[in-house]
């Protein structure tokens, strides 16, 4: 176990590079695809777009800052305290926001699949824009405690809670607002959506794009449930083991497990593009159009009209009258 800290260091360095590169490519392509004219007017696309933007912010304020520290690039001397607060806030808040945008997309798909006209009215473009703004403001208020509960050294290389109360409060906030409550909401509204689809009247037509977006969302929810489960278990264990006397070997193992579950949770920020590509034919079609510029308007070919067809109607009528005479 003496080399476990070295293994942990190499794991963090390699995973930071992998997540940052793959997440940047995937989320930028997501933003470009869901901003296209064929999808941007869909209410569910607004949540997917907001989710991708939140993922980019979480990746860069978490993985990029770790990479900079690995290469010996630190904050400006004396500004590490502010750097620590900004870094933690823009890591946890976007990470939590990405999960709640998926929840909002589940609610949107449930409303879209409902037989009630009143419930379907919530699946609108305007409603999705207001919902994204409301989620952003609410989570900013929840995670604003980062500016008071976290502090770091002068160069920003170390960043940690200032007290045990802040550490416990932060763990509970992450457990409730990221790894526990959002998956429960996703499961409930996802199940309700599938139930609505199975009991849909046979005479009701379904838009192909809506069906594809629903399928893509169900796959993303399923993957989110799997990847967020380990961090939930770890946070519950950390709370139960609080106050116990631990050996150095046990502490090293727990720190390594903490790093693994944290990066497992961060994998949620990069998977959407690759899952959408594998499961959504509509998404693949839009991706091909984006990459190969195949959405250019084709020239409209009008039928060739004869000279008699090009004459005005009054001249044609006069010609017919002369023929009858």
**For 151-190, what is each residue's pLDDT tens digit?**
887 777 788 888 888 888 888 888 889 988 999 999 999 8
Scanning 175-267, the segments in alpha helix (DSSP H) are 181-198, 208-240, 248-266
Contact partners, residue 308, CB within 8 Å, separation at least 6: 316
Tell me how many degrees the CA angle 194-196-199 measures, rounded to the nearest 5: 110
Total-model pTM: 0.84
**For 12-32, what is each residue's pLDDT tens digit?**
999 999 999 999 999 999 999
Residue 106: exposure state from Cβ atoms within 10 A (0-12, 13-18, ≥19): buried
| DSSP codes, 53-118 | HHHHHHHIIIIIHHHHHHTT--PPTT-HHHHHHHHHHHHHHHHHHHHHHHHHHHHHHHHHH-S-HH
Look at residues 12, 45, 143 and name the one whose alpha carbon lies nearest to residue 89: 143
CA distance 190 to 171: 27
pLDDT at position 282, please? 85
């Amino acid at each position: 176990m003496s080399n476990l800290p070295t293994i942990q260091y190499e794991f963090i360095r390699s995973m930071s590079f992998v997540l940052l590169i793959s997440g940047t490519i995937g989320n930028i392509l997501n933003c470009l695809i869901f901003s296209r004219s064929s999808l941007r007017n869909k209410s569910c696309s607004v949540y997917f777009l907001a989710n991708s933007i939140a993922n980019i912010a979480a990746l860069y304020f978490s993985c990029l800052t770790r990479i900079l520290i690995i290469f010996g690039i630190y904050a400006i001397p004396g500004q590490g305290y502010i750097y620590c607060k900004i870094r933690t806030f823009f890591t946890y808040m976007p990470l939590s926001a990405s999960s709640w945008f998926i929840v909002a997309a589940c609610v949107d798909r449930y409303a879209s699949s409902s037989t009630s006209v009143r419930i379907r009215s919530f699946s609108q473009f305007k409603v999705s824009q207001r919902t994204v703004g409301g989620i952003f403001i609410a989570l900013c208020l929840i995670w604003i405690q980062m500016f008071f509960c976290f502090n770091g050294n002068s160069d920003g290389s170390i960043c940690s809670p200032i007290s045990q109360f802040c550490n416990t409060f932060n763990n509970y906030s992450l457990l409730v607002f990221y790894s526990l409550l959002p998956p429960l909401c996703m499961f409930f509204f996802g199940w309700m959506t599938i139930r609505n689809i199975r009991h849909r009247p046979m005479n009701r037509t379904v838009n192909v794009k809506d069906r594809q977006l629903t399928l893509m969302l169900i796959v993303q929810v399923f993957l989110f449930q799997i990847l967020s489960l380990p961090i939930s278990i770890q946070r519950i264990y950390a709370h139960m083991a609080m106050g116990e006397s631990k050996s150095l070997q046990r502490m090293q193992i727990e720190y390594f497990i903490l790093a693994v579950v944290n990066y497992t949770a961060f994998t949620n920020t990069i998977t959407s593009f690759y899952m959408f590509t594998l499961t959504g034919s509509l998404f693949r079609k839009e991706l091909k159009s984006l990459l190969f510029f195949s959405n250019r308007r084709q020239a409209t070919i009008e039928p060739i009209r004869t000279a008699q067809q090009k004459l005005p109607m009054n001249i044609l009528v006069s010609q017919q009258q002369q023929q009858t005479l």
